[in-house]
Amino acid sequence: MLYTWFAIVPPIIVLGVVLVTHRLIPALIAGLICAAILASDFNILDASHLLLQRLLLQATDLDTIYNFSFLLCIGVIISLLNATGGATAFSRTFTKHLKTSRMVESSSLLFSLTLFIDDYLSNLTMGHVMRPLTDKFNIPRAKLAYLVHSMTGPLVILAPISSWAAMITGQLEQAGISTTQNIQIKIFTDPFFVYLKSIPFIFYSLILISSIWFIVRSRISFGPMHKHETIAQTQGNLFGGKEPLNNPLHQGFDQSGTLSSLLVPLITLVGSVLVGIPYTGGYWLFGGTRSLLDSFKNNNQTFFVLFMAGVITLIVGFGDALWRKHIGSKEVWTIIQRGLLLMYSPIVMVFLASSLGTILRVDLQTGPYLASLLLGTVSMYLLPLMFFIVSLITAITTGSAWGTIALMLPIAIPMLMTFAHIQAPATLFQLPLLLPTLGAIFSGAVCGDHISPVSETTIMAASSSGAYPVDHAVTQFPYAIPAIVGSCCAFIVSGYYNALTPWINALFSFGLGLSVCLLILYLLNTKNRRLMHEK
């Protein structure tokens, strides 16, 4: 069934079910069933066969198995770090000389930079680590949750060595960007290399992180967050006037942990990946023939490397923790169980979304259909802006950045090729709008996940920081609006000047978007101070 309005029904059903239930997994299941039925011309037997075929194809793909296995390893590593108290020891070691609230808030941002491997890891540790320090300086819990949450997904997606990088690379390959000959190739190039090239175009993350530093260093305060900060400073109540909330993470933290409890696993993980990718990519230093950059670009074993790095990290991490007696042998299985449960929901969501994406791309031809609708009605240079807004709305309603990315990529890539009148397999250089569009999808997904009240990371950041989840969602939203407006400006400029060299395009667009964001923050802060003075 090609080029019919049925092609957009499954995504609409997914969004509709999410709006009613606020649950993504049932919504994806409903979307899968609907897509299979539509693709089979309402033949239930054929639909069942198609659905089973797509699910089995996804479940038996070797890269998918390695990818999900790595994510399970990350979950166990997070659980181990929480159990050993390594993050708490990190805080005790490096925060002895903090004298002002500005220094404390800045240190929270700096410490988050060290936990770029995974947003769950950062969310689950930073709030607990910084809470004693922020309480000491009467920084409201909602402000702490904002600082913690804003340096999780927006930061991790910029890190080439992270759980997000593994997921994105896998989704790019599923969407048809690959050098493997046994799949339907849309763009013939390495998906990891494409992800690296798209990082400068993830404008929301870049603008948001820059704006956070501006807010902290310039003491910007307005909206509901200003109310919380005023109550905290004048009354000592850190909860916006509400009753104190004590909601520690269920994993708990061992206060007797040492700095090595954190550093040993993280260094092992990062080091294993940094060595593994060049090694499997044929870097000359390890006996191959390629340069370091070429070993990254031509590596087709990224998922295997990430999985092995996770396994090595678990062996080293548990061995170190047992040897130092930070955990007992009887606690090992409990830590593993908690880590596996932590990643269960994200893996299921990505698996279902990826399977749905395959049906949308291959069987319903959703991308080409949308392109045929918009061709002649939407200017091509506005495509990055359009995908940013659509991805943003999707992620807000679903609460899942990963699910949004898995849904959007199979639609965007064929659509771009249809707009550009390019036949597959294409090269990266034939589609100058590809990188801005990918950056727009990633930005919208991260932004929606960041501000969504139903996002898992929103709940985690609030719980880790000891804040009311509703307060966290309400107070951080106004601070994200300037970054959203700035990102929209950046994507308009990037799309319009797509013929420029990618780095020049990204730098110019980012500079304009950041300027707009900071100007809005300055004006809002000035207006708030004027109103306070008039009172």
Each residue's pLDDT tens digit, 240-283: 888 887 644 444 445 566 778 888 988 898 788 888 888 888 88
Of 219, 234, 249, give the one whose Cα is nearest residue 465: 249
pLDDT digits (tens, 9 = 90+) for 158-204: 988 777 887 888 888 888 888 776 556 778 888 888 999 999 999 99
- Residue 45's domain comprises 5-534
Can the peptide bond before residue 278 be classed as cis, meaning omega within 30 degrees of 0?
A: no
Query: Total domain count for the chain?
Result: 1
The pLDDT score that the predictor gives to residue 463 is 80
Average confidence (pLDDT) over 329-346: 85
The position carrying tokens 């809002």 is: 524
In degrees, to the nearest 5, what angle opens at C-alpha 19 toward C-alphas 18 and 25? 10
Q: pLDDT tens digit string along 440-456?
A: 999 999 999 999 886 77
250 by DSSP, 3-state: which?
coil
Q: Tens digit of pLDDT for each residue in 361-401?
A: 778 877 667 666 665 567 888 999 999 998 898 888 777 88
Reading the block at residue 512, the tokens are 């304009």
Cα gap 133→475, rounded to integer Å: 20
Quick one: residue 399, left, alpha or beta (phi over 0 = left, psi -120 to 50 = alpha)?
Answer: left
For the ranges 253-257, 347-351, 462-466, 504-508, the one whose mean pLDDT is highest: 504-508
Tell me how far apart the alpha carbons of residues 306 and 236 are, in angstroms, rounded to a whole number: 46
Annotate 138-172 with DSSP letters as a single string. Answer: T--HHHHHHHHHHTSHHHHTT-SSSHHHHHHHHHH
- Alpha-carbon distance of 91 to 261, in angstroms, equals 12
If you compute the radius of gyration of the chain from its CA atoms, what whole number of angstroms results? 23
In which band, very low, low, confident or very high, does the pLDDT at 482 lie, cut at 50, 70 and 90?
A: very high
List, in order, residues 6 or more apart from 519 with CB less than 8 Å away. Answer: none
Tokens of 437: 């569009």
- For 510, the token pair is 């980012």
Give dist(CA 347, CA 342) in Å, integer: 10
The tokens of 110 are what?
A: 């700096």
- Enter the pTM of the model: 0.78
